[in-house]
Amino acid sequence: MTALVNTDPDSASASQAEINAEIAAIETGYLRTGVEETQPRLDYAPYRSSLLRHPTKDLHHADPETIELWAPCFGERDVHRLESDLTIQHNGEPIGERIIVTGRIIDGDGRPVRRQLVEIWQANAGGRYVHKRDQHPAPLDPNFTGVGRCLTDDDGNYRFTTIKPGPYPWKNHHNAWRPAHIHFSLFGTDFTQRMITQMYFPGDPLFGLDPIYQSITDQKARDRLVAAYDHDVTTHEWATGYRWDIVLTGSNRTHFEAEDHDQ
């Protein structure tokens, strides 16, 4: 039985307890099926904005063809080296906890995703985005925009210097708060690997209350979005370090060594 829910995503009418009950009911149902899920559900009512925006028909199987077996190319022309440091984009130092976030991007067969574009965006230390529609009454930081880009290196590694983002309120339900996160936009070697996701920080007390994070019904899959604190990434008297590795879906293209010389 599906309960009637208010479909206005900004109504904020449900309580956290009601959202928690919906999340728990879906998780119980998932555990009962015994079929492992690894991606978020598109149809996930506790996230109210999904109600009218998810396809109701099954995704149609497609064997990738020609254009779908390739991905767009990016290079030094597109991304300046300094764009990976979000703390040096203005005249002064941003407020907050300086962090390094680094990791490796590989495909489902373990091949590094080389020389490919990674884009990130995030709230500042107070939980506020520069975006004009963000009305959260936390201060903007004149020294922090919260947008970064880089290209992976020849072994698939990316690295950003930034500020640890704060959690922030949103209007999904009454007293709704998002766990702190950094948005990641990723490309692979194939069009089919394109993805956008969110990286979270270990031990966030808001995980259990957040319908976006919980739309991934499987705990092991949810854990894949949580970075690990890594003291080897932390640098002396400068920044704490987090490591987060990313796996894209398998490539469907036949890979040749010669491609390594293609730039």
Q: Catalytic site residue 168?
A: yes
By CB under 8 A, tell whether 46 contacts another protein. no
Helix (H, G, I), strand (E, B) or coil at 101: strand
Dihedral over Cα of 23, 24, 29, 35: its sign: positive
By CB under 8 A, tell whether 212 contacts another protein. yes
Residue placing its CB nearer to another protein in the complex, 51 or 88: 51
By CB under 8 A, tell whether 51 contacts another protein. yes
Nearby residues of 254 by Cβ (< 8 Å), 6 or more positions away: none
Concatenating the DSSP letter of every residue in 9-52 gives TT---S-HHHHHHHHHHHHHHHHHH-----S--S--TTSGGGTT
CA distances to 18, 84, 103, 182, 212 from 24, rounded to whole Å, are: 10, 39, 32, 26, 14
Binders of another protein among 135-154, rule CB under 8 A?
145-147
* Catalytic residue, candidates 181, 213, 242, 253: 181
Q: Which one of 11-19, 104-112, 153-161, 229-237 is the stretch in contact with another protein (CB under 8 A)?
A: 104-112
Q: What is the DSSP letter of 225?
A: T
Q: Catalytic site residue 183?
A: yes
Angstrom distance (rounded) from CA 97 to CA 238: 10
By CB under 8 A, tell whether 206 contacts another protein. no
Contact pick of 224, 230, 234, 240 for another protein (by CB under 8 A): 224
* Catalytic residue, candidates 149, 178, 213, 242: 178
Residue placing its CB nearer to another protein in the complex, 90 or 131: 131
By CB under 8 A, tell whether 47 contacts another protein. yes
Contact pick of 100, 127, 129, 150 for another protein (by CB under 8 A): 129
Which residues are tagged catalytic?
129, 168, 178, 181, 183
